A and B are shown apart, each in its own frame.
Chain A
Amino acid sequence: MTKTWTLTDESKSKTPEHNDKWIKIILSTDRIDKDICRSAVVKMYAAAEKAPPKVGFVRSPVAGHIAAAALAMLYQLSKDPLDSGLTYCDEVKDGILKLASEKANSHIGPEAAMDVMSVLQELAPAAPPTPSASSDTQGRVQEVLSGVLSNISKIRSGGNEWGSYDCYLTFVRDVIGFSCPAHEHYAAWEDLAVFGGVRWVAEDFCLISDRPLTLVTNQNNVLDNDKGPAKEYADGFKLWYLEGVQVDEQIVMSPKSQTVDQILAEGNEEVRRLRITQYGDEFFREVGAQELDRRENAIEGTRETLLEITGGMKFLRTFCPSTGDTYILPVDEEITTCNAAQSWLWGVDDASMSIVGRT
């Protein structure tokens, strides 16, 4: 049966308030409510007809990522070691805890290491005594944990950070006034967005990260801070963003320490643009940029210059007609005109293909 609803003027008038509510949740720096989260996790598992898991908390998503990988490995080994070559015992369990804690220490710092060790000790399944010590156990633990770490994001859910989905889902219920039985089961998920943070959901455990202590955005609500980290968590983990683009600390805090080679080797166009912006126009002087061609591109509403730098590399320098951001796009060294550079960039190799505009 199809149910329909209509967007009335009254509903339209409520939309900005609804959006603001969820933007605040997404950008919240409030501490998560652990009691509500625990209760919501139990309800969510019950809705999925699953037994309640062990619930634990960490202070940052990276600590959560490491701890979740370790827990997933610990529970799997305790039930079925598959073809890991490991047998679950004290030695293996201690090895996983030690390695996870060391990883947290090297990626974040000592506070995160303590958090990870603490949550693993709380949530890890008991292990039988070690039958006989093996010299190669720790090497194998390291190998298996590396594999689990590279896949653990598959059980990650965004909590409040994925609140944009909840904004859509609750719009129909809260703004339109349409509800259905599925909303009862959804309520636990919604609580985990409103009161929780990023989480890792597995059969035996659910791990939830706290929110950042500080979060810096620009007028468009995208992460942007040219004076420090855009996100900072209580265990010391920091993330750096410019104009919504994730960058590293060097680009924000000491951009002049970048080398020309570093900038030219940057594979992401947005990050390369920000590297140059932060470095300054002297970048072009330092690379000995020479203009080979220029044109007004009336079709795309832009201007273009073809630059050659010392060593023969060539770049098309242009700007985005939507944002005004300028880019240097590496092109083939055989190219001699802006028109040929654009054709090369889009693989336009015959008269049957053409660009008719751009946004």
Chain B
Amino acid sequence: MITIEETLKFIDDAACEVAGPKPVVISESSLEVGQFLPQGDVALLKMSEVPEGAVQVNNPSPKVVAGTTQGSQHVWDSMEGIEAFEPPASMKSPTVGLIYKLNEERTLTHPDHGHHTYHEGFIGCLTHQRTISGNAIAD
């Protein structure tokens, strides 16, 4: 039987070797529709188009999730060239955020995780990692 010390060591040994955040450039060929690359507990799920029924948001915030904690600081480097949409009712859930359409290359920054630079033309739906309590969004 595996002891708790062995279990903890399996994770802790590898965690000690982490070299720090690495920026990622996401080109057109990096992701297929339906694929995503988490930045901490947030990701943009690649979509082929803005779905029918999505409603454009006026003056969207560059900060893509709510909250004031360090962990919630997923922020676009600029909103120039970014259109944001409320997803249609059929897509709505506590773990789904806005849909972003990038009309030019933009970078989703974070103070702890690697920045993600998405290519012009990228369309993605903000997705939060699920939590056990009612699938609510973790701040």
A270 touching B4 in the complex, CB below 8 Å, given contacts A303-B10, A355-B36, A357-B24? no
Residues of the A chain whose Cβ atoms lie less than 8 Å from the Cβ of B71: 245, 268-270
B30 touches A326 (CB 8 A): no
Q: Are B7 and A323 in contact (CB under 8 A)?
A: no
Please name all residues of chain B whose beta carbon is closer than 8 Å to the beta carbon of A356 when the two chains form the complex.
30-31, 35-37
Number of A-B contacts (CB under 8 A): 136
**Nearest-neighbor residue (CB-CB) of A357 within chain B:** B37
A285 vs B4: C-alpha distance in the bound complex, in angstroms? 7
B131 at the interface (CB under 8 A from A): yes
**Does the CB pair A359–B21 fall under 8 Å?**
yes
Measured between beta carbons, the chain A residues less than 8 angstroms from B11 are: 303-305, 317-319, 326
Task: Give the complex CA separation of A342 and B125 in angstroms.
Answer: 19
Size class of the contact patch on chain B:
35 or more
For A295, the closest partner residue in chain B by CB is B10
Inter-chain contact A325/B116, CB cutoff 8 Å:
no
Cα-based distance from A355 to B37 in the complex (angstroms): 6
Chain A residues with Cβ below 8 Å from B23 are 359
- Encoded as 1 (CB less than 8 Å from any B CB) or 0, chain A from 332 to 359 comes to 1000000000001111000011111111
At the interface with chain A, which of B38-46, B52-60, B80-88, B99-107? B38-46
A325: chain B residues at CB < 8 Å are 15
Residue A109 at the B interface, CB < 8 A?
A: no
List A contacts of B90 (CB < 8 A). none
B14 interface contact, C-beta 8 A: yes
Question: Once bound together, how far apart are the Cα atoms of A324 and B11, in whole Å?
Answer: 10
Determine if B131 and A320 form an interchain contact, defined as CB atoms under 8 angstroms apart.
Answer: no
Which residue from A245, A322, A324, A354 sits with its C-beta under 8 Å from B114? A322
Residues of A within 8 A of B33 (CB): 352
Bound-state CA distance A246–B7 (Å) is: 29
- A198-222 vs B, Cβ < 8 Å mask (1 yes, 0 no): 0000000000000000000000001
Q: What residues on B are CB-neighbors of A245 within 8 Å? A: 69-71
Closest A residue to B3 by beta carbon equals A291
The proximity string for A residues 263-277 relative to B, scoring 1 for CB distances below 8 Å and 0 otherwise, is 000011110000000
Q: When chains A and B are docked, how far (Å) is the Cα of A244 from the Cα of B14?
A: 24
Name 21 A/B residue pairs within 8 A (Cβ), A-sorted.
A244-B70, A267-B133, A289-B7, A318-B11, A322-B20, A322-B40, A323-B21, A323-B113, A324-B18, A326-B11, A345-B129, A346-B127, A346-B130, A347-B95, A352-B33, A353-B35, A355-B35, A356-B30, A356-B31, A356-B36, A359-B38
